[in-house]
Chain A
Amino acid sequence: MKYPIIKRSFYALASEPAFIFCIVLELAVLLFLVFGVEFQLYQGEVVSITILGSRIDSPSLFVNMMLPNFVGLVITIIVFLFILVSGTVYPGLADDPILNIVLTRAVTRSGFLLSNIVGAGAAGSVNVLIFLLSMSLVMTLKTGIWFMTNALGGAAALSVLLIVILSLTVFFGATGGSATTSQVLVILIHFVLSGLIHSPNLNKNILFKAVSLIVPSTDRVSMSVQSTLLGYPLEISVLVQPLLVALVCIVGSVVIFEKKDL
């Protein structure tokens, strides 16, 4: 892998309109937390919360209902936007006019593709890490309760989710799909198939059981991110199957790219 290619891929992804839109949304969320939410504390416990001037005297309503929904919504939006962005990674590198020049330098095709995946994955991971740590810092400063460990765990799980998504879009791109095809397929997998195939009721069916091995359980990772951010321990086991599928997708993409006529 080559650092200049990783760096270029990082910036290419970070300058995508959907990625910039994601950063703007994240900034809006942070500003909302900083200026729109106030916590009233008594002996180190949150007793009431004021959101945009409206006071909620039942902190449990906030903790059990509003906060999970809010975190879930934010994660869904980040994942959706990342699917849009990552769909452009493979078509972007395959259609790059200087691709032929780069590949005649001291870089292998597999090294080139992996560097691009690492760069794009790093852009997504760095973004969520900064966002979640900033959000937790604000919460920690406002409540005096330590949220940073949750943020780190959540960022790690969310990074895994983004890498799985990236590997899927790259794989669909490598197998001949356009950016739009890749995006639509991954949206279907993440928002429809993943939840459906891995549901306990359908898992009794042998066909669904077989399909569940190849469809990554991204919905579970998404839920794991949410629960980790809310203070539950990170479930490492949930990450294994999606990571294996991602690995297979990356290896498959490399094999296809190696054989491609440019």
Chain B
Amino acid sequence: MAQSDPALEIRQLTKTYVVRHVQRKSLTTALDNVSITIRRGEIYALLGLNGAGKTTLMKIVLGLTRATKGSVTWSGMAVDRIIQEGKVGYLPELLKAKNDLTVKGFLKYIGQICEMDEKELKRRVDYALDEFGLQDISSQKLNALSKGTLKRVVIAQALMNEPDLLLLDEPTDGLDPVWQRNVRERLISLKKNGTTIVLSSHLLSEIEVIADRVGILQKGKLVAEGTVQQLLPPPKGYVVRIATDPGVNSYPFQRGDDGQWWCSVEDQIALRNILNEINARGIGILAVTPVQANLEDVFISLVNQGKE
């Protein structure tokens, strides 16, 4: 299958829950007619406030939660098939663990369930322990680990079977900056090898760096979808930097601490005018930088629109 082929297809997914109150029941819609197509080797990020439906969507894809309506397919076939083939990795938001498994025991247990033979199992467990810096704590019980270390263990298990489809719920939450970067780099390398990755995160700067496409969920609805660039609005203006005093008063150039002169303009017409004038005076232009909203601005704006 080519990298551009649709791999994971989510069609009109709806999930409603019956919520029991003290004296009555009510129906809550966790997902409302969500359709997403994710290509092979793509990193797709799900954004949304807590309770927007990100985890429910992932759980339905994994067959952990049953959809009220809609379908999920992998390469045109029911997603159960790839799960039964052991080609899926999942990182839940695991906050605690039982006391019966050690770090190594847990990885071995997951490998054994995936029916790896002894030799392969040992190789992959050792590799996972090395890759995620877990060798020294391999005999520690899972419930004795800190949040960040437990997260590394759970990421290690998610990657251990070299999955074709990887679903990660808050993969870097709780990790220190060094491991956040390591995990990001690992995800990018997996993507290059053709792994399809669906992740949710509240770290929007991280998503800007690694996600090919982003879907924003709000109250169970997919309210925006596209590449980060597609989601960003046009620049709010431009900043022009020059090396020397322009000696003109038509534009309010200011001298910065670095000795450069800079000026901000609101639109492309003003930008063209100022560049013409500077060029006419033979002044070298150091940089023209658009004043760009970031993903966080887009996200907050969409959330506020939803509230209205």
A→B interface (CB under 8 Å): 2-5, 8, 11-12, 15, 96-98, 100-108, 259, 261-262
Contacts and interface: CB of A to CB of B under 8 A. Distances in A.
A97 B83 contact: no
A106 B114 contact: yes
A107 B84 CA distance: 6
Interface string B151-195: 000100110010000010000000000000000000000000000
B59 A100 contact: yes
B241 to A, nearest CB: 51
Interface string B127-169: 0000000000000000000000000001001100100000100
Contacts of B65: 261-262
B53 to A, nearest CB: 14
Which of A12, A100, A107 is packed against the most chain B CB atoms within 10 Å? A100
A104 B109 contact: no
B44 interface: no
A97 B97 contact: yes
Contacts of A107: 113
B122 interface: no
Given A8-B100, A106-B85, A106-B114, A100 B109 contact: no
B113 A104 contact: no
B114 A105 contact: yes
B98 interface: yes
B83 A104 contact: yes
Closest 6 CB pairs of A and B: A106-B86, A4-B112, A104-B90, A262-B64, A261-B65, A105-B113
B66 interface: yes
Interface string B44-86: 0000000000000001001111100000000000000001111
A232 B148 CA distance: 61
Nearest to A262: B64
14 contacts: A12-B100, A15-B100, A97-B98, A98-B106, A100-B64, A101-B90, A101-B157, A104-B63, A104-B167, A106-B84, A106-B85, A106-B86, A261-B64, A262-B64
A101 B163 CA distance: 13
Interface residues of B, number: 34
B88 interface: yes
A105 B87 CA distance: 8
A83 to B, nearest CB: 22
A245 B170 CA distance: 44
Contact of B109 (A8, A15, A261): A8
Interface in B89-111: 89-90, 92, 94-98, 100-101, 106, 109-110
Contacts of A100: 59, 62, 64, 90, 92
Contact of A262 (B59, B94, B95): B59
A106 B82 CA distance: 9
B5 interface: no
Given A2-B113, A4-B113, A5-B113, A103 B100 contact: no
Given A4-B112, A262-B59, A101 B100 contact: no
A103 B83 CA distance: 9
Residue among A5, A12, A104, A261 with the highest chain B CB neighbour number at 10 A = A104
Nearest to B85: A106
A2 B114 CA distance: 10
Contacts of B118: none
Nearest to B56: A261
A97 B90 CA distance: 13
B91 to A, nearest CB: 8
A257 to B, nearest CB: 12
A92 B63 CA distance: 21
Given A8-B109, A11-B100, A97-B96, A104 B64 contact: yes
A221 to B, nearest CB: 31
Nearest to B65: A261
Contacts of B109: 4, 8
Contacts of A102: 110, 113
Contacts of B64: 100, 103-104, 261-262
A104 B62 contact: yes
Contacts of B96: 97
B115 interface: yes
Contacts of B115: 106
Given A11-B100, A261-B66, A101 B85 contact: no
A108 B113 contact: no
A39 B288 CA distance: 104
A11 B63 CA distance: 28
A36 B167 CA distance: 62
